[in-house]
């Protein structure tokens, strides 16, 4: 096996951009993801989220529920090249019930595209995800989407970004025509004007035409004059991009466009290549930066099964943090010290996979059937390292799962164990109910619907789910368990993945009363959905 040089690894890392697209549900995230891949020539035809007019679903939405409902409920990876830059796009669920999956993805990226609906601006889920980006020091590029539909004034949207999240907006281009009457875009740096025409159904790249300013002024009339006035105002107030402020999370480049007809998507790709940071040294669990040129290391940020019915395997998604990975190289599983085989390493494009021979910092490796790997685990070659764990969210919804067919008990147990290892839900064991009736804990109720669907379709074990009246969870210990379980509306369960004790309460007031009466109880808060820390 060839040993790569530090200069090779540094050069390969420098040409990579690993980023996520974050947004509120229905802002057009999956559609924009398809448009980015289309403009990079990674696909020939974009899919529509709802499969209208016979068009196929988006490549990044591979789960059957995603295709039927038109929502993203699990993250996926799209890897493609554009202009000599290798892009690793990590698509994320927009629905708040799947915040935990998005949080894990944000632990594996170097930049984010914050997608805003031109009519709605900043929405609740977008704000929560931005807080996570701020906490992790992830620079954010803003894309104002759906400019082909009626919406708000562009200056109003910029003001909202600055006032509500404290990011100074720096528009890189500016729309000609109000939202709903999208004529084209003016590039602020060059003054060049691009006019767009959609293709039938928006399934292929929009037709872009460069138009001289004099001609555009004559043909666009009042729309051009209005855009020119707004651009003059931006110049006057100094709304220009400061690269250092962007890297520090104080400024956000802003671009306008429309993902469905593919307007302005090329400019976003160019901005990502030019502005998004390449992979950098990653801080380990001791707070020491591990250079990208150090021997291979990576971190598992997702485990997923059922991506391909032909394979029926589980795939661990590993972000390469340092060094060069080669298929077949021996790795060490950090938490256990055990060796790990990588002969069948893969690269992903949505649900599609292909053999991966080599990977560098910023890339995402798929390791099929890597038993024992869970979210947050560190892998390394030669030089040991451990990266900070990726915490689990505090669940707010709880259900007891039972098999509907006792003859499928083995399939039921296998399916529950698989979903537990993926982090799709947290599986808790109750001494009262036993192993045949585990308690499933989730951030949002839609996660249970996913569990029921996957248990039936992937594992052949239909389940019956019964709701428990708990809303609050805290980590606890054996010393506190006896006092807690003596109270009504409280139960102590064991998290099967790591043996941690979890106290669940019918409401937060009951928990606070117990804390007041017994200040020595161990009740440790868990990370709440959307909270940065």
List the domains of the chain with CATH numbers: 19-72+91-98+110-275 (3.40.50.300), 282-380 (2.40.30.10), 397-517 (3.30.70.3280)
- For the stretch 15-33, pLDDT in tens is 999 999 988 888 888 889 8
Average of pLDDT values for 370-396? 89
Nearest-angstrom CA–CA distance, 523 and 371: 32
Average of pLDDT values for 302-327? 81
Q: Which of 395, 347, 301 is nearest to 102 (CA)?
A: 301
CA 137 to chain centre: 15
**pLDDT top residue among 101 and 47:** 101
Task: Give the dihedral of Cα atoms 373, 379, 381, 383; nearest 10 deg.
Answer: -140
Two tokens at 531?
């909270």
Residue listed under structure tokens 């790997």: 373
Two tokens at 147?
């400019």
Q: What are phi and psi of 197, to 5 degrees?
A: -130, 130
- Residues facing 322 on adjacent strands: 297
Tally of CA atoms within 13 A in the half-sphere of 515 that contains its CB: 14
- Residues facing 51 on adjacent strands: none
**pLDDT top residue among 425 and 502:** 502
Instruction: pLDDT band for 60, please (50, 70, 90 cuts).
Output: very low
Q: Is the dihedral of CA 218, 222, 228, 231 positive or negative?
A: negative
State the pTM of this model.
0.83
Judge contact between 384 and 434, C-beta under 8 A: no
Residue numbers belonging to the annotated binding site for GTP: 91-95
Residue numbers belonging to the annotated binding site: 91-95
Classify residue 46 by its DSSP letter: P
In the 3-class helix/strand/coil scheme, how is 454-471 assigned residue by residue? HHHHCCCCCEEEEEECCC
Two tokens at 515?
């804390």
Judge contact between 187 and 194, C-beta under 8 A: yes
Two tokens at 491?
């139960």
Nearest-angstrom CA–CA distance, 232 and 188: 10
């Amino acid at each position: 096996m060839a040993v790569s040089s530090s200069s090779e690894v540094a050069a390969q890392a420098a040409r990579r951009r690993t980023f996520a697209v974050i947004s509120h549900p229905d802002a057009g995230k999956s559609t924009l993801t398809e448009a980015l891949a289309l403009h990079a020539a990674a696909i020939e035809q974009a899919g529509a989220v709802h499969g209208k007019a016979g068009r196929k679903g988006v490549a990044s939405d591979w789960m059957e529920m995603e295709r039927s409902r038109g929502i993203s409920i699990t993250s996926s990876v799209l890897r493609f090249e554009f202009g000599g830059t290798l892009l690793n796009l990590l698509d994320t669920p927009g629905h708040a019930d799947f915040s935990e999956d998005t949080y894990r993805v944000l632990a594996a990226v170097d930049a984010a595209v914050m997608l805003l609906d031109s009519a709605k601006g900043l929405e609740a889920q977008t704000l929560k995800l931005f807080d996570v980006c701020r906490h992790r020091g992830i620079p954010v590029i803003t894309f104002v989407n759906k400019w082909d539909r009626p919406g708000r004034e562009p200056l109003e949207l910029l003001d909202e970004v600055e006032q509500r999240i404290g990011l100074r907006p720096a528009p890189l281009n500016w729309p000609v025509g109000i939202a709903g009457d999208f004529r084209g875009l003016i590039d602020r740096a060059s003054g060049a004007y691009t006019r767009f025409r959609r293709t039938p159904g928006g399934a292929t790249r929009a037709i872009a035409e460069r138009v001289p300013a004099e001609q555009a002024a004559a043909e666009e009339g009042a729309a051009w004059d209005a855009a020119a006035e707004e651009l003059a105002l931006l110049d006057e107030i100094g709304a220009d991009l400061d690269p250092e402020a962007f890297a520090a999370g104080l400024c956000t480049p802003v671009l306008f466009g429309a993902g469905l007809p593919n307007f302005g998507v090329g400019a976003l790709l160019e901005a990502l290549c030019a502005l998004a940071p390449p992979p950098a040294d990653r801080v380990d669990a001791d707070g020491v930066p591990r250079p990208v040129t150090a021997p291979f290391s990576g971190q598992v940020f997702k485990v997923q099964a059922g991506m391909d019915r032909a394979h029926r395997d589980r795939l661990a998604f590993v972000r390469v943090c340092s060094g060069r990975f080669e298929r077949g190289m021996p790795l060490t599983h950090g938490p256990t010290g055990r060796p790990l085989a990588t002969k069948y390493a893969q690269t992903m494009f949505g649900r599609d996979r292909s053999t991966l021979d080599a990977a560098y910092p910023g890339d995402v490796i798929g390791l099929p059937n890597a038993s024992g790997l869970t979210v947050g685990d560190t892998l390394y070659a030669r030089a040991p390292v451990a990266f900070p764990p990726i915490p689990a969210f505090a669940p707010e919804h709880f259900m007891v799962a039972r098999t509907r067919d006792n003859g499928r008990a083995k399939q039921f147990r296998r399916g529950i164990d698989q979903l537990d290892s993926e982090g799709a839900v947290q599986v808790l064991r109750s001494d009262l109910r036993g192993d045949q009736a585990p308690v499933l804990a989730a951030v949002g109720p839609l996660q249970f619907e996913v569990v029921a669907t996957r248990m039936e379709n992937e594992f052949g074990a239909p389940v019956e789910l019964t709701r428990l009246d708990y809303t609050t969870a805290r980590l606890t210990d054996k010393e506190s368990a006896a006092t807690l379980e003596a109270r009504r509306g409280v139960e102590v369960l064991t998290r099967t993945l790591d043996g941690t004790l979890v106290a669940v309460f019918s409401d937060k007031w009951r928990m606070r009363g117990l804390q007041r009466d017994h200040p020595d109880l161990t009740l440790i808060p868990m990370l709440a959905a959307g909270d940065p820390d």
